[in-house]
Amino acid sequence: MSFRSVSASVRAWPRRGSHADGASLALALEEAGFSLFFAMDHRVSKIPKTATAELAGDLLRWYDAHARDLPWRAPPGAGERADPYRVWLSEVMLQQTTVSTVKARFERFLALWPSVADLAVASLEDVLKEWAGLGYYARARNLHAAARVLATAHGGVFPDTVDGLAALPGVGPYTAAAIAAIAFDRPETVVDGNVERVVARLFAVTTSLPQAKGELRRLAATLTPTQRPGDYAQAVMDLGATVCTPRAPKCLLCPIRRACQAYVMNIAETLPRKAEKAAKPVRAGVAYWLESADATTGAAVVLLVRRPAQGLLGGMLALPSVGWDDGALPAKISQLKWRATDAVVRHTFTHFHLELKIVAASLKTPITVKDGHWIAKTDLLDAGLPTLMKKAVREMGEFMAE
């Protein structure tokens, strides 16, 4: 009995998720040549190589017809490899950032620095300014550092192996595998959140994340083909992003639903399961709005400081602030007479919520402050500030307008 022939029977069975349904499904799949793990839930723990190749073929045919049009990709099935610089840049940008946000920013970044050689000679300050608003600023610092390593130690050429790529600053196992597969067609297993969801449903993995990560990676590795592995990696990502979505998955449009245990058991939308997250703590801090007048033009200027390279908002321009991180107020301004304002900024970081009150003071003429920059008040929103500080600028604008 072939993999395809059993699918008609599978689709006809009741999808109640009962023990009996699971057992009958397991026995029928075993008859078709599957290797089964007979636990209480009768989940399939391994798909034979012939069926794996068939599944990959179905998915690649779907990808050839439905691949998302993304500026860092090569057309699917065209035999053309993607530019490793574009793949690397996109993968770094996409960490903790949505595709819709990244697309426009990617094009703008590429216009400024079209090659790794261009990025290597750029100033870190310019790169951080362009990165403003994307968050997780260590990504930008590592991107710049890796570009310099590539330019000086590799002649501007990307390594084509996972080990070589992982040696670059900021390139972890996932990013290394993604570049190796997509740019160099290496048969590496690429597992992001979309892939985890597809695999959890395909194998009906009921262990909660993050505990299930190791199992999902192992299962994903059993499916990775040797033919067109780069396209396959992107196909699974696209399937998770457009069909096998977190809510209301479009199972009837899925090219591999005949092999999906969660679909057969009618539990797709419940997977992957996630452990309950602890409530985020709330931190409180104070930001300092110091205003003066430019000595030449008389225009209003505001003091910003360059934050330390390490830590939250590392290397970014920001209002001086204390209380919510390890930052300290510059000594020259700590003794000024600060007045309270009604301006309050609320912002959420990965691990905590922040409530930042703003106090204000003014000077007749600007003073020199370590790592300080006096920026025209009208230019603050174009100064490359992180989102938190843009919120503070807008809050102060509204406060002063009242």
Give the integer Cα–Cα distance in Å for 314 and 68: 34
The one catalytic residue in 30, 54, 80, 91 is: 91
Q: Is 91 tagged catalytic?
A: yes
> What's the pLDDT at 38?
30
Radius of gyration of the chain (CA): 26
Low pLDDT (below 50) residues in the chain: 1-42
Q: Is 35 helix (H, G, I), strand (E, B) or coil?
A: strand
| Structure tokens belonging to residue 235 | 């196909």
> What's the pLDDT at 399?
67
> What's the pLDDT at 46?
56
> Is the torsion defined by CA of 262, 200, 97, 146 positive or negative?
negative
> What's the pLDDT at 47?
64
DSSP letter at 204? Answer: T
Residues 6+ apart with CB under 8 A from 332: 367, 368, 369
| Structure tokens belonging to residue 84 | 């490793």
> Peptide bond preceding 210: is omega within 30 degrees of 0, i.e. cis?
yes
Does this model's pTM top 0.85? My answer is no
Residue indicated by tokens 């610089």: 85
> What's the pLDDT at 187?
96
At CA 253, angle to CA 21 and CA 222, rounded to 5?
A: 65
Q: Which domains does the chain have, with CATH numbers?
A: 3-68+190-270 (1.10.1670.10), 84-184 (1.10.340.30), 282-401 (3.90.79.10)
> What's the pLDDT at 10?
42
| Structure tokens belonging to residue 350 | 């990965």
> What's the pLDDT at 135?
85
